[in-house]
């Protein structure tokens, strides 16, 4: 079953604008990760934030995590047409028997127009 | 290219036939996961291997599904007596020993059951 919701389901912006995607989840987590998927292809890992972290940066990406609200956001600054893809948040469960398996949201489809 | 390969990339089969997919992990990755992704959804966990041991199976993995990882290297996922509902993208992901949670996904095998 899906862990939670992603918002918005689809986002359309112009090149150079910022894109913000939100993710909510339901259970306790060890970490939250964001992945990107180009149409019909596998997923590429973007960034990981641990449950004891509040914000993390990687290049044009900024991720925040609010464990009290069970939510996260991914900000892509100065977007490019090549950023067009589906973006998924995924949570890694807390507890020793989670084995690191990921529970994914439904994803946000981002379209960046040149 | 993450270094994880899957074969075949596409498979079309008739209902009732058996199919087998293969995943070759990054060589030092002892953790291997199978996920299934249907159109418009995020991936859903199917099963997990640590070395050659299958440690967890999702309830999604009916008795028509079987997975193996002989010698802790490549893995196979077999679906017997395929049904139209099995049509999906089957993704393999691998990871290093526990402590580093990033998973590296293969390109996936897209299955269409007619």
Q: Which residue has the tokens 């918005």?
A: A8
What is the pLDDT, as a whole number, of residue B25? 95
DSSP assignments along B6-53, one per residue: EE-SEEEE-TT--EEEEEE--TT--EEEEEEE-TTS--EEEEEEETTE
User: Residues of A with CB below 8 A from B48's CB?
Assistant: 99-101
Task: Over range A83-95, report the average pLDDT.
Answer: 88
Among A97-106, B39-48, B104-113, the minimum mean pLDDT is found in A97-106
At A57-73, the pLDDT tens digits run: 999 999 999 999 999 99
Task: Over range A38-52, report the average pLDDT.
Answer: 91
Q: Which of B87, B111, B44 is nearest to A107 (CA)?
A: B44
Structural element, H or E, at residue A67:
none
To the nearest 10°, report the CA torsion of A53, A102, B2, A56: -10
pLDDT of A106 above 60: yes
User: Residues of B with CB below 8 A from A91's CB?
Assistant: none
Question: Strand pairing partners for B33?
Answer: B48, B93
% of chain A exceeding 90 in pLDDT: 76
Alpha-carbon gap: B17 to the closest alpha carbon of chain A (Å) = 24
How remote is the C-alpha of A100 from its chain's centroid?
17
Q: Which of A74, A80, A3, A88 is nearest to A37 (CA)?
A: A88
What is the pLDDT, as a whole number, of residue B71? 87
Q: Search chain A and give the residue with CA nearest B101.
A: A100
For A23, residues 6+ apart whose C-beta sits below 8 A from its C-beta are A4, A5, A6, A7, A32, A34, A71, A72, A73, A74, A89, A105
At B33-69, the pLDDT tens digits run: 999 999 999 999 999 999 999 999 998 888 999 999 9
């Amino acid at each position: 079953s899906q862990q939670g919701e992603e918002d918005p389901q689809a986002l359309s912006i112009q090149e150079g604008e910022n894109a913000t995607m939100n993710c909510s989840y339901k259970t306790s987590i060890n970490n939250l990760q964001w992945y990107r998927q180009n149409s019909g292809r596998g997923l590429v890992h973007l960034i990981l934030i641990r449950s004891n972290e509040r914000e993390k940066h990687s290049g044009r990406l900024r991720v925040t995590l609010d464990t009290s609200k069970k939510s996260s956001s991914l900000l892509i600054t100065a977007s490019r047409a090549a950023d067009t893809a589906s973006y998924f948040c995924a949570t890694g469960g807390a507890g020793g028997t989670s084995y690191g398996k990921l529970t994914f949201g439904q994803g946000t489809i981002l379209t960046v127009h040149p | 290219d993450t270094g994880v390969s899957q074969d075949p990339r596409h498979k079309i089969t008739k209902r009732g036939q058996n199919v087998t997919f293969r995943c070759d992990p990054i060589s030092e990755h002892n953790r291997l996961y199978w996920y299934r992704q249907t159109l418009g959804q995020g991936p859903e966990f199917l099963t997990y291997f640590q070395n050659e041991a299958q440690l967890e199976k999702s309830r999604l993995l009916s008795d028509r599904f079987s997975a193996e990882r002989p010698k802790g290297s490549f893995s196979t996922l077999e679906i017997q007596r395929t049904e139209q509902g099995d049509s999906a993208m089957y993704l393999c992901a691998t990871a290093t020993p526990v402590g580093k949670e990033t998973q590296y996904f293969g390109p996936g095998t897209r299955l269409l059951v007619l």
